[in-house]
Structure 1
Amino acid sequence: MKQLFLTLFSSLIVSNLLSVQAQDIRAAGDKMPEVRKTSTAGTPATYKLRQIIVGNGGGITGASTTYYLLENGKLFGRRNRDVAFTYIGQQTAANTKRVFRSVEVNCKIKMTRFDNPGNIYKFVQWRKGKLDYKVTWGAADKTVPANYPKVYDSFMAMIPASLRLK
């Protein structure tokens, strides 16, 4: 069986090579197709520009849900048990700019150090390339830095309930 597969596979490759060699050569004036880099597009895992990441989790199951707003306005979500990101939708340029301004200017996330998750927690995170700043709260005895609960709530409000990950 294995021998038959290898024989068929080899003959398929040879026939493809012969058909490629038989094709006409491009005329001098023909342009080769352009290859565009997609390093800034795609999913949050490969995105190189700014991202705002908001999520929550904890409890008995330890489950978490995370939402990613990319600088280009694309919004993704992912639960910790998911292997892929879920595309939720495209935010307007004005709304995207407002969210980034809230996190960068109003919350001053790059200067805020606060990591007190508690059993059930919420977080706001800013990422660009290898730079990463995160504020996590949930511990009952700790006071959350100003503006973070408001930013979290307004971020979650921009995701319609029907599109939230369950």
Structure 2
Amino acid sequence: MSFRRVPLFFVFCLVWLLKTGSAFGQETASVTAGSNFPNRFTGRQIVVELGSGENRSEYRLLDTGLLYYRKGSEGPFTQLGQQKKDSTQKMFARLEQDCKIKTAKQEKPEKPDVTITWKKAKTEFAVGWENGKAPDVCERFYERFMEMFPKSRKK
């Protein structure tokens, strides 16, 4: 009778360990779920595009603080580092509150020199200008935004 209790106890312990181990694995997976790759990122991001051709430069800031750069509309992204949480939040607040990107009634020209886009999942709001005809608030935002990127990547 004691032989039956010992294997049952080990079976019970093994089942318990497997269940708790898989629960820890599921918890970790949910924390890291989602992508930090800019094209698949579903959180907020700021995209600044210089020029309107195929070879334009593109700068991105994700709300996680990650900075990305790519040359050309189909080129690969290069991660350039990470901003601190407070400076990232300030940048999003400037774009949303000072520039009022979500309610801006500015027409985007056909071939803009600079385009600033606020994205979250499939929602986008954009402001663009050409020939230096930028609203003052947007131009100041653009200058502060570009200061976050290394000088070697600026156009």
What range is the shorter-chain TM-score in?
A: 0.7 to 0.9
User: Identity, % of aligned pairs?
Assistant: 29
The amino acid across from 1:46 in the alignment is: R
Matched, 1:27 2:14: yes
Whether contact under 8 Å (1:51, 1:71) holds in the other structure is: yes
What is residue 29 of structure 2 aligned with on the other side? 36
C-alpha distance in structure 2 between counterparts of 1:101 and 1:48, whole Å: 18
Whether contact under 8 Å (1:120, 1:138) holds in the other structure is: yes
Structure 1 residue 56: Cα displacement: 0.5
**Is the deviation greater in 69-78 or in 82-91?**
82-91
TM-score normalised by length of structure 2 = 0.76
Change (3 A) 1:103 1:118: same
What SS class does the counterpart of residue 97 from structure 2 fall into? helix
The amino acid across from 2:80 in the alignment is: I
What is residue 66 of structure 1 aligned with on the other side? 58
C-alpha distance in structure 1 between counterparts of 2:142 and 2:55, whole Å: 18
Structure 2 spans left out of the alignment, 5+ residues: 1-12
Change (3 A) 1:39 1:83: farther
**Is the deviation greater in 124-133 or in 143-152?**
143-152
Matched, 1:80 2:72: yes
Structure 1 spans left out of the alignment, 5+ residues: 1-25
TM-score normalised by length of structure 1 = 0.71
Change (3 A) 1:101 1:88: same
Matched, 1:54 2:48: yes
More helix by share: 2
Whether contact under 8 Å (2:45, 2:119) holds in the other structure is: yes
- Indicate which of 126, 140, 145 corresponds to 1:150: 140
Whether contact under 8 Å (2:54, 2:73) holds in the other structure is: no
What SS class does the counterpart of residue 29 from structure 2 fall into? coil
After TM superposition, the runs of 4+ consecutive aligned structure 1 residues lying more than 6 A away are none
Change (3 A) 1:165 1:84: farther
What SS class does the counterpart of residue 100 from structure 2 fall into? coil
Matched residue count: 136
C-alpha distance in structure 2 between counterparts of 1:57 and 1:133, whole Å: 18
Change (3 A) 1:55 1:126: same
RMSD: 2.4
Structure 1 residue 111: Cα displacement: 0.6
**Is the deviation greater in 63-72 or in 114-123?**
114-123
C-alpha distance in structure 1 between counterparts of 2:112 and 2:121, whole Å: 28
